[in-house]
Amino acid sequence: MTAETVLHNARIVLADEIVEGSLVLRDGFIAGIEAGASSGSSRTGEDMGGDYIIPGLVELHTDHLEGHYAPRPKVRWNPIAAVLAHDAQVATAGITTVLDALRVGMDEDADLTSADIRKLADAIEDSVKQDRLRADHFIHLRCEVSAPDCLRAFANFDGDERVKLASLMDHAPGQRQFVNLETYAYYYQRKLKLTDRDFKVFCEKRMAESARNSAPNRAVIAAACQERGIVLASHDDATSGHVDEAIEQGVRVAEFPTTEEAARASKEAGMGVLMGAPNVMRGASHSGNVSARTLASDGLLDILSSDYIPFSLIQSAFFLGDVVEGISLPQAVAMVSKNPADAVGLTDRGVIEQGRRADLVRVRVDDHVPVVRTVWRQGRRVA
């Protein structure tokens, strides 16, 4: 039998406008969009009470899963239970497609190992096969190219078809995210409880590893991703020189550029510029870098990521549509749905349009905060 659902009396956020009317869902896809009152329709359906219906959100960069697996130092949770907890949190935040960002390349402050990361990836794969999950899960490899074990860890994902995105990142001090050493000290000296002398030695070691490993590891991973059809992202680009390197390596997504110069150069090169939704909500980067609101105002922002707060994704979309001149709600919603989906080749979702997947979110806004009321993935209610 054909499975059909009709959602009446909704404010439907399309690619370029908001339509009041009804949505028809059939066999997991959007079968029709009907503008206007539905009182004359012969179909019965669910009354949305004037709430918004937006496309299911698409998240490209969240490392939130690792926190569920290792909630405290030296504590390891059951990996399947960790995946389920993470999945429930992203789905109830309106995220119907998520690229779980898993770390490749460890340094001495890491509490996890490459074996832990592979366990999480296996738990994701098993949970997909067993139909345990609310959201659609893929993998994003966060490749710390300065780390000595980066390529060995990357090899753990040879042939893994769930990998859709790999980002090239280098968190060594004195560059990119941590040009300001005071910010780096706030992160690492306090975290590792180092004296000033020990912190200096720590920084020198990190910078030496970066000088030795970063360039060759970038080249190897970029070539492997080109061969396997994995989308490449750069991370924390700060200068036009960084962007030139990204262009040469075939990067398609510029994650968290730290300066307007790098964001503009990335945009002009045809990359999708991705920034953090928490940055939007706070009005500033937590590392003291360029504000996502500034980039949005200047037309340099394409994609938002929840990064470390899943709910910030839907929150930032409604916020940007309200406070940044020149950005409509449909444009802001595209930054958390269509644009990220297109960036990684998931062109069957991300927009409300006939023939697309019925990945949808019902939202009411109370006191400027979006309230997620219902989430559907492929026409099936999951939250």
pLDDT at residue 40, rounded to an integer: 44
pLDDT at residue 73, rounded to an integer: 84
Instruction: Give me the residue label for tokens 């990357």.
Output: 154
Average pLDDT over residues 94-98: 98
pLDDT at residue 201, rounded to an integer: 77
Lowest mean pLDDT among 135-139, 146-150, 273-277: 146-150
Mean pLDDT of the chain: 91
Report the distance separating Cα 172 and Cα 256, nearest Å: 16
pLDDT band at 108 (very low <50, low <70, confident <90, very high): low
Q: Across the chain, how many H-helices and E-strands are there?
A: 13, 16
Instruction: Give me the residue label for tokens 């059809």.
Output: 229
DSSP assignments along 235-279, one per residue? ES--SHHHHHHHHHTT--EEES-SSHHHHHHHHHTTPEEEEEHHH
Could you please state the CATH topology (level 3) that the domain comprising 58-350 is classified under: TIM Barrel (3.20.20)
pLDDT score of 359 more than 60: yes
pLDDT score of 30 more than 50: yes
Query: In which order are the strands placed within the sheet that holds 57-62?
Result: 57-62, 95-104, 136-144, 163-169, 231-235, 253-255, 272-276, 303-305
Lowest mean pLDDT among 91-105, 117-131, 167-181: 167-181
The separation between CA 310 and the C-alpha centre of its own chain, rounded to angstroms, equals 9
Segment of 206-215, 237-246, 364-373 carrying the highest mean pLDDT: 364-373
pLDDT band at 177 (very low <50, low <70, confident <90, very high): low
